[in-house]
Amino acid sequence: MSVRGLQLDDVVLLGRTFEEYRTYFGLGDGDLRDARVLDMGSGVSSFGAEARAAGYDVTGADPIYGAEPDRLAQKCRADLADVVAKLPAVAPNYVWGGFYRDIPDLQRQRETAYRRFLADYDPASPRYVPAALPATGFADRQFTLTLVSHFLFLYDDRLDYAFHKASLLELGRITDGEVRIFPLANLRAEPSAHVARFLDDVDRPRWRIETRPVDFEFLKGSGEMLVLDTRASR
């Protein structure tokens, strides 16, 4: 049984690694090798830096980009410390002993991610684009694979359905391929109602949409990702 969810004052900067993305987005070399990948809302995750080092074409987009590295480093440390301090009270909402052994192990992995990000981050780089949902400014069909990690659906207590729908339509506009979103649960470890509402929305595009199981569950009830195949309606 879940306890009340993690109480956060704002969307936090918590970095995640290539290995985490690979696992919860079900990514293999075949998904990435010839793709134009967008990591939307990428924050301080090191996925992009690690993927580019492996030869993949990945662009990160987040409204924080353009900020000086020292400022981002300060917020990384503060946000992680805040989350780690609050986790013991909500630990029953999470699955421990799998990808993360315990809270100190989780903290170490988050630190690894943001330090790799900061080592690669350049506010002038075209690989770090200052952009936000629901209006990114990217061109139609600019990317062939878009990933959204720990943003949409997770914060459904402060981002309403209208925001989610507009964001999903925008992701479909800029992606000629698949949009993958993880997780589908909110911070209370409950399935986000916005998922079902979008699936039932008579006004949504006729994309092929599926919830696909993934080999990753940390927040309880979050063992699936949402996959939008935007090519199906074209």
Write out pLDDT tens, residues 145-168.
999 999 999 999 889 999 999 999
Instruction: Please state the pTM of the whole predicted model.
Output: 0.93
The CATH number linked to 50 is 3.40.50
Q: What is the mean pLDDT of the chain?
A: 93
Q: Is residue 160 part of a domain?
A: yes
Q: Is residue 1 a contact partner of residue 92, using CB atoms and an 8 Å limit?
A: yes
Amino acid at site 112? T
Q: Is residue 84 part of a domain?
A: yes
User: What DSSP letter does each residue of 197-218 carry, written as one string?
Assistant: HHHT-TTS---EEEEEE-S--S
Q: Is residue 71 part of a domain?
A: yes
User: In percent, how much of the chain has pLDDT > 70?
Assistant: 94
Separation between Cα atoms, residue 165 and residue 221, nearest integer Å: 22
Q: What is the pLDDT of residues 194-208, one digit of tens each?
A: 999 999 999 999 999
Q: Could you identify the residue written with the tokens 């199906």?
A: 232
Q: Is residue 189 part of a domain?
A: yes
Q: Is the pLDDT of residue 234 over 70?
A: no
Q: Is residue 12 part of a domain?
A: no
pLDDT score for 214? 95
- Long-range contacts (CB closer than 8 Å, 24 or more residues apart) made by 156-161: 156/186, 156/192, 156/193, 156/194, 157/186, 157/187, 157/188, 161/193, 161/194, 161/197, 161/198
Q: Is residue 83 part of a domain?
A: yes
Q: Is residue 146 a contact partner of residue 174, using CB atoms and an 8 Å limit?
A: yes
Omega before 183 cis (within 30°)?
A: yes
Q: Is residue 3 part of a domain?
A: no
Q: Is the pLDDT of residue 3 over 60?
A: no
| Residue 227 phi, psi dihedral angles, 5° rounding | -120, 120
Q: Is the pLDDT of residue 2 over 50?
A: no
Q: Tell me the residue range of the domain where 209 lies.
A: 18-233
Q: Is the pLDDT of residue 4 over 80?
A: no
- Cβ-proximal residues to 56 (8 Å cutoff; 6+ apart), any chain: 32, 33, 35, 37
Using H for helix, E for strand and C for coil, what is the string for 8-19?
CCCCCCCCCCHH
Q: Is residue 10 part of a domain?
A: no
Number of domains the chain is built from: 1
